[in-house]
Structure 1
């Protein structure tokens, strides 16, 4: 049975949904399509195109983490990497908490993908990750599935990858596929006790966005 807005709310946090999936599952394309079709919901993401001008720092930090921190394990500890990712995670939470409590939101990955990547980078299961897990849960997670083989093709055979998307010194199909399988496993482990709808792999962002819209509309009743 669809949840009412009153049932869906957690304190002052609006009803919200998480769009999740491995790298290159198509989340950004679906969010862009939802924005193009004037969705009535808030779209929350740390991607540059969804950040307000006053929050541009978040985008710069994300790029610098990938460029200056993640590739140099001898210079920076896994704890430092997690601390840098923490800025993006808290920003997503703040956007939910500070938004209109009556306007539902769709959140790109929330903390789940950041947490899984931290674990893959060797971050211990410490109080920081425990705090992330205490954040308000979504009403539903919509998980976009994609095979590692097709994700590799979507990355232009590795040309678009960053160092937090594959194993090894250079992007190679084997290292990418192993990383993505591990990422998928850890993300699903983190969300195993939450309501999840898995969408089978699709190639049409508009069609996927329409399905996401139908799911959320049904949930909100």
Structure 2
């Protein structure tokens, strides 16, 4: 990884990272965008797209009943390793921006009660980015962007019902854990942006500098 330009775009749920990265494709054509979002997954990695869909459609609705938190972590680890592999396999001359890397999955696994310190230690041994761009958002704005809570999944709130109070508490704790995970990495904080275009421009300015 020596000499590789490798940054991470991070933030709480609803911050607009995926939308910003979609716009950065044309704004930063020399950069490679790495994510498990379908728009960024190559055809030869279609398994990642299917697994992500199955996580949302089957695993998360059954979390705590049909599936344990440890099982969830085992499945999510495929995304973590995929992101690492994509970073490692990119031409070192090409700068890379990674959506959340392992940081967000690790934080959410911790919040779900997964205690596998060996797995976390392995993830934390992965190559570290040159910097993190933290796209912030208030819980209130994130709640509205999730249709006032209508489009939440089980890894975006505490409790069973997904109420506003459960969402707000979860998101504040998530933000705290994310910043804890990247405390040894240079972090640029970006305040909440009003829309995806402005978020992308704010990220572009950081990366260009």
Same fold (TM over 0.5): yes
Matched-pair contact (CA < 8 Å) for 2:63–2:154: no
Q: Distance in 2 between matches of 1:72 and 1:33?
A: 33
User: Corresponding residue for 2:193?
Assistant: 202
How far the C-alpha of 1:63 sits from its partner, in A, is 2.2
Q: Distance in 2 between matches of 1:211 and 1:195?
A: 17
Matched-pair contact (CA < 8 Å) for 2:132–2:188: yes
3-state DSSP of counterpart to 2:110: helix
1:1-221 mapped onto 2 (5 Å cutoff): 10-11=1-2, 14-70=4-60, 71-218=62-209
Which stretch has the larger CA shift, 23-32 or 68-77? 68-77
Matched-pair contact (CA < 8 Å) for 2:16–2:199: no
Structure 1: unaligned runs, 5 residues or longer: 1-9
Matched-pair contact (CA < 8 Å) for 1:21–1:109: yes
Which stretch has the larger CA shift, 100-109 or 51-60? 51-60
3-state DSSP of counterpart to 1:201: coil
Matched-pair contact (CA < 8 Å) for 1:66–1:164: no
Call closer, same or farther: CA 1:74–1:204 in 2, change over 3 Å: closer
Q: Distance in 2 between matches of 1:14 and 1:60?
A: 30
Matched-pair contact (CA < 8 Å) for 1:167–1:178: yes
How far the C-alpha of 1:125 sits from its partner, in A, is 4.2
Structure 2: unaligned runs, 5 residues or longer: none
Which stretch has the larger CA shift, 61-70 or 163-172? 61-70
Q: Distance in 1 between matches of 2:19 and 2:49?
A: 18
* Per-residue deviation, residues 165-201 of structure 1 (Å, max 9, x unmatched): 1112222111111111111111111111110000001
Which stretch has the larger CA shift, 205-214 or 181-190? 205-214
